[in-house]
Amino acid sequence: DSGVTQTPKHLITATGQRVTLRCSPRSGDLSVYWYQQSLDQGLQFLIQYYNGEERAKGNILERFSAQQFPDLHSELNLSSLELGDSALYFCASSVTGLAETQYFGPGTRLLVL
C-alpha cells in the first residue's frame, strides 16, 4: 500500500458523459500526478500539480481537466467521453515533485460504453 488513495476503483459510463476521479496523496506529499494506462498508448503522463498549482502538462486532452485543492487532494475531470478514453487512470504523489520517487495509487478503471 503506497498511501495514495483513489476513488472510485471502477467506473462504467456512456459516451458523451462526464466523470470525476479523485485522488488523495500520501501524507506530507505536495505534488500530485495523473497518468493514463491503456493497451494502445501504454502509460502516459497527463498533468502534474504542486501545492495547488499546475506544474507540468503532458498528453492531456482538452476534454480533460484537473485541479488540486487546498487540502492537496486532486480531481481529474473527463468530459465528452469517448470509447477510446477507457483506460486505467493512476494518480501518483511525491514530496516536492522534483527528481524523486513517485508513489502510485491503486488506479481507477474507467470503461466507456
Residue nearer to another protein on the CB measure, 47 or 78: 47
- C-beta separation of 92 from 44 below 8 A: no
Q: How far is the CB of 31 from another protein (least distance, A)?
A: 8
Residue nearer to another protein on the CB measure, 14 or 40: 40
Q: How far is the CB of 72 from another protein (least distance, A)?
A: 17
- Long-range Cβ contact pairs of 39-47 (< 8 A, separation 24 or more): 40/84, 41/87, 43/90, 46/76, 47/76
Residue nearer to another protein on the CB measure, 31 or 74: 31
Radius of gyration of the CA atoms of the chain, in A: 13
Q: How far is the CB of 24 from another protein (least distance, A)?
A: 14
Binding residues vs another protein (CB under 8 A)? 2, 31, 33, 35, 42-45, 47-48, 55-58, 90, 92, 94, 97-107
Sheet hosting strand 5-7, strand order edge to edge: 5-7, 19-24, 74-78, 64-68
Length, in residues, of the chain: 113
Residue nearer to another protein on the CB measure, 15 or 51: 51
